[in-house]
Amino acid sequence: MQQLVSGLLRNRKAVIGAVILLLIIVAAFAAPLLSQYSPTARVGRPHQPPSLEHWLGTTRVGRDVFTQLIYGARTSLAVGFGAGLMITLIGTMLGIIAGYKGGVIDEVINFFTNMVLVVPNLPLLLVLAAFIGQASPLVIAVILGLTSWAWGVRVTRAETLSIRQKDFIKSAEMLGEPSWRIMAFEIFPNLISIVGINFIGSVIFAVITEATLEFLGLGDPNTVSWGIMLYNAQNASALSVGAWWDLLSPCIALALLGLSLALINFAIDEIANPRLRTGGRLGRWAALVQAGEGRL
């Protein structure tokens, strides 16, 4: 774990990603300090372009876009991290149990995992959300958490299968350690980077999917979130009336959040698998060749 953190601090991609993510988090927490407006109040004339008063302009109904954006970040982050945590928790537990226990338990878990993997996710969520009616961010987070764990099970199980063969597991078994202890304290710590990748990947997925469901009109139009902003802007034909700020602001916010998380994920992958690493020694190598201090 410590190794992972110190590795991340030395990885340029991770640092850039973390800085962007941190800025979004700070803006979300400090929203009342950053804006004098309320995100749901009519504070100006409709579709005003960006100005000193309204940094990112106003919406069709005269709400402040910037204020909506920073308050909406709270929703995106909460849904993303909440659903991401749930997805990772379920996926990791099932994956470790299936991989370690083997036998019938493994077959059952594996069968259901493969089943969930071939039922297309977004269409399934659309049906679920359509029956629920107008889904609040909390409901969206919960159904995401309950339906999207399959990928995590697959990778965790595969990794557990290879760890199970290692000597330290064998010796723990000989010593008569209970299997829950082996799974929690011997196997899990060795999966930390896979779990990390799964977690960040799930957060990205949850953020994207929440916005998509809301954009498609399945969210609760009274919430303040980036997806609802997109939905309202699209319904107000923001692009065809030239109010690009109304639509592009949440677009750029979503892109930045997705990008920052993806950079962190890519970095974890590089740290977990040294072969993927490109910085450090390869940079030094190239410099030495340039300087004529050696060749291949």
Partner 1 sequence: MSFLLRRLAFYLAAFIAAATINFFLPRVMPGDPIQMMFASAGSELSLENLNALKLTFGFIEAPLWQQYLTYLQSVFTGDLGVSIKYFPLPVTELLARALVWTVGLMGLATILSFTCGTLLGALAAWRRGTRLDTIISMSAIFSSSVPAVVISLVMLFIFGYQLGWFPSGYAADPMLDPAFSAQYIGSVIRHGTLPMLTLFIVLVGGFAVTMRNNMINLLGEDYIVMGRAKGLGEGRVMLWYAARNALLPTFSALAIAIGTVLGGSLVTEVVFNYPGLGNVLYQAILARDYPVIQGQLLIMTGAMLVSNFIVDLSYVLLDPRLRKA
Partner 2 sequence: MSVPVLSVKNLSIDYIGDETDFRAVDDVSFDIGPGEFFGLAGESGCGKSTIAFAISRLHRPPALIRSGEILLQGRNVLDLDTEQLRKFRWSQVAMVFQSAMNSLNPVLTIETQFYDVLHTHLGMNRAQARERAAELLKLVDISVDRLKSYPHQCSGGMRQRIVIAICLALNPKLLIMDEPTTALDVVVQREILQRIDTLRGELGFSVLFITHDLGLMVQVCDRIGVMLEGKLVEVNAAHDIYTAPQHDYTRKLWASMPRLHGEQIRQGAQ
Residues lying near partner 2 in the complex (CB under 8 A): 280-282, 284-286, 288-289, 293-296
262 binds partner 1 (CB under 8 A): yes
Calpha distance 186→182 (Å, rounded): 5
Q: Is 288 in the site for partner 1 (CB under 8 A)?
A: no
User: Whole-number minimum distance, CB 74 to partner 1, in Å?
Assistant: 18
Which residue has tokens 């009274």? 222
Nearer to partner 2, 178 or 293 (CB): 293
Out of 106, 177, 220, 269, which residue is the one contacting partner 1 (CB under 8 A)?
A: 269
On whether the CB atoms of residues 45 and 54 are closer than 8 A, the answer is no
Minimum distance, C-beta of residue 149 to partner 1, in the bound complex (Å): 14
Residue with tokens 């779990």: 195
139 touches partner 1 by CB under 8 A:
no
Distances 295 to 97, 266, 285 between C-alpha atoms, Å: 50, 30, 10
Q: How far is CA 54 from the centre of its chain?
A: 30
Instruction: Using the structure block, give the residue that is written with the tokens 């303040």.
Output: 224
Beta carbon of residue 279, minimum distance to partner 2 (angstroms, whole number): 8
Q: How far is CA 179 from the centre of its chain?
A: 31
| Subset of residues 85 to 124 that bind partner 1, contact rule: CB under 8 A | 114-115, 117-124
User: 152-188 burial, b if ≥16 CB within 10 A, otherwise e?
Assistant: bbbbbbebbeebbeeeebeebeeeeeeeeebbeebbb
The mark string for 219-238 relative to partner 1 (x by CB under 8 A, - otherwise) is: -----------x---x----
Chain residues binding partner 1 by CB under 8 A are 114-115, 117-124, 126-128, 130-132, 151, 204, 207-208, 211-212, 215-218, 230, 234, 239-240, 244, 247-248, 251, 254-255, 258-259, 261-263, 266, 269, 273, 275-276, 278, 282-283, 285-286
